[in-house]
């Protein structure tokens, strides 16, 4: 089984959202929605049946002090366990477009990385007109 994620934009509920190629984050608090899928089954949504499930995301950086680790939550666990979200505060600004995922189910961990899944828009006050 090869797991991956599909970013979601314009999430309203589990019946109203759009799949996307990537997320765009800005210098503000950001909520990132995504669907976990199984690549070996033609991107079929992946819903864990384990009693204990955690999903951690790591946003890498060349500077170890700027690496961000956050824990995702299932958005609506009684309806669709494949859709998750992670909330980044306004001080948690990713430094690259890559994201590492670590899904732990009843003590067994599956890891993967999604390359260029994130677009970071930085607005710096550089002066001028």
For residue 19, the model assigns a pLDDT of 96
In a domain, 126, yes or no: no
In a domain, 75, yes or no: yes
In a domain, 9, yes or no: yes
What domain range includes position 83? Answer: 3-120
State the Rg of the chain over Cα.
Answer: 15
C-alpha dist (Å) from residue 11 to 24, 45, 74, 113, 115? 14, 16, 13, 23, 22
User: CATH number, domain at 10?
Assistant: 2.60.40
Q: What is the pTM of this model?
A: 0.91
**Phi, psi (rounded to 5 degrees) for 65:** -70, -15
Does position 15 have pLDDT exceeding 80, yes or no? yes
- Asked if residue 4 lies in contact with residue 111, where contact means CB atoms within 8 angstroms, the answer is no
Confidence of residue 129 (pLDDT cuts 50, 70, 90): low
For residue 125, the model assigns a pLDDT of 61
């Amino acid at each position: 089984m090869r797991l991956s994620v599909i970013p979601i934009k314009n999430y309203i509920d589990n019946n109203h959202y759009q799949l996307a190629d990537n997320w765009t984050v800005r210098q503000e608090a950001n909520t990132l929605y995504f669907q976990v899928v199984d690549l070996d089954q033609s991107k079929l949504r992946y819903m864990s049946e384990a009693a204990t499930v955690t999903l951690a995301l790591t946003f890498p950086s060349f500077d170890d002090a700027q690496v961000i680790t956050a824990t995702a939550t299932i958005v609506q666990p009684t309806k669709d366990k494949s859709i998750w979200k992670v909330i980044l505060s306004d001080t948690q600004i990713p430094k690259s477009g890559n994201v590492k995922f670590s899904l732990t189910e009843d003590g067994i961990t599956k890891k993967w990385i999604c390359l260029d899944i994130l677009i970071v828009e930085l607005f710096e006050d550089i002066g001028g007109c």
